[in-house]
Amino acid sequence: MSGPQIIRTPGGEELVVLSRAEYEALLERADHEAEDADDVAIYDARKAADSVVLPPEVSAAILRGESRLKAIRNWRDETQLHLSFKTGIGQGYLSDLESGRRTGTPETIAKLAEALSVPVEWLS
């Protein structure tokens, strides 16, 4: 077949006749376009959201059960003691923050973020 054939029904409806190869090529192209559209929609949604994008090493540590603060501190190769010294926050308090026994004030979180050179959102 050299191309699609158009047939008109007695009711006036137009039908298109394609070869199997043309039909399958059309379906494959539609699948790729739909997949591309889905990918674009997912990308746009993630870009529009105020989501936190952490480094893969930090995300992996969180998946292993570490708190976000501990994962970021270890990623930055900091000890609790050194971070305590840099921020003026007690080491015991840092330990409580990392374990989830306590929650930090916005000021505390801001100090930690600055000392760890990360956006505050990463610790919020």
The domain segmentation of the chain, as residue ranges, is 5-48, 56-122
- Percentage with pLDDT > 70 across the chain: 91
Confidence grade of residue 51 (pLDDT, cut at 50, 70, 90): low
State residue 35's pLDDT score: 78
CA dihedral 115, 87, 78, 62 (to 10 degrees): -70
CB 116 within 8 Å of CB 98: no
Instruction: Please give the structure tokens belonging to residue 11.
Output: 């009711």
What is the C-alpha to C-alpha distance for residues 74 and 101, in angstroms, rounded to an integer? 19
> One-letter amino acid identity for 114?
E
In words, the CATH class of domain 56-122 is mainly alpha
Q: What is the DSSP letter of 121?
A: G
Q: Given a cut of 70, is residue 83 above it in pLDDT?
A: yes
Instruction: Please give the structure tokens belonging to residue 30.
Output: 């539609």
Q: Given a cut of 80, is residue 46 above it in pLDDT?
A: no
Stretch (H or E) spanning 97: helix 91-99
